Amino acid sequence: MLEITRIRADKDAVIEGLKTRMIDATEVVNNIVATDESWRAKKSELDSIAAEMNKISKEIGMLFKEGKRDEADAAKAKTATLKENEKNLKAEVDALENELQELLYQVPNVPQSIVPAGKSEEDNVTVEEIGTPVQFNFDALPHWELADKFGLIDFETGVKVTGAGFPIYKGKGAKLQRALINFFLMEADKAGYEEFIPPHVVNEASGYGTGQLPDKEGQMYHVGVDDLYLIPTAEVPLTNIYRDVILPNEDFSIKMTGYTPCFRREAGSYGKDVRGLNRLHQFDKVEIVRIEHPNNSEKALVEMVDHIKGLLEKLGLHYRVLRLCGGDLGFTSAITYDFEVYSAAQGRWLEVSSVSCFETFQANRLKLRFKGEDKKTQLCHTLNGSALALPRIVAALLENHQTEDGIMIPEALRPFTGFDKID
- Binding site residues for L-serine, as ranges? 233, 264, 287, 384
Binding residues: 233, 264-266, 287, 351-354, 384
Paired strand residues for 341 = 319, 350
Binding residues for ATP: 264-266, 351-354
Please tell me the distance from the alpha carbon of residue 35 to that of residue 16, in angstroms, as a whole number: 20
Q: Report yes or no: 147 and 276 within 8 Å, Cβ to Cβ.
A: yes
Please tell me the distance from the alpha carbon of residue 128 to that of residue 214, in angstroms, as a whole number: 35
Please tell me the distance from the alpha carbon of residue 313 to that of residue 307, in angstroms, as a whole number: 10
Please tell me the distance from the alpha carbon of residue 357 to that of residue 364, in angstroms, as a whole number: 14
Range 254-289 burial, b when 16+ CB lie within 10 A, else e: bbbbbbbebbbbeeeeeeeeeebbbbbbbbbbbbbb
Q: List CB contacts of 74: < 8 A, sequence separation 6 or more.
A: none
Q: Give me the count of residues in the chain.
A: 423
Please tell me the distance from the alpha carbon of residue 402 to that of residue 346, in angstroms, as a whole number: 13
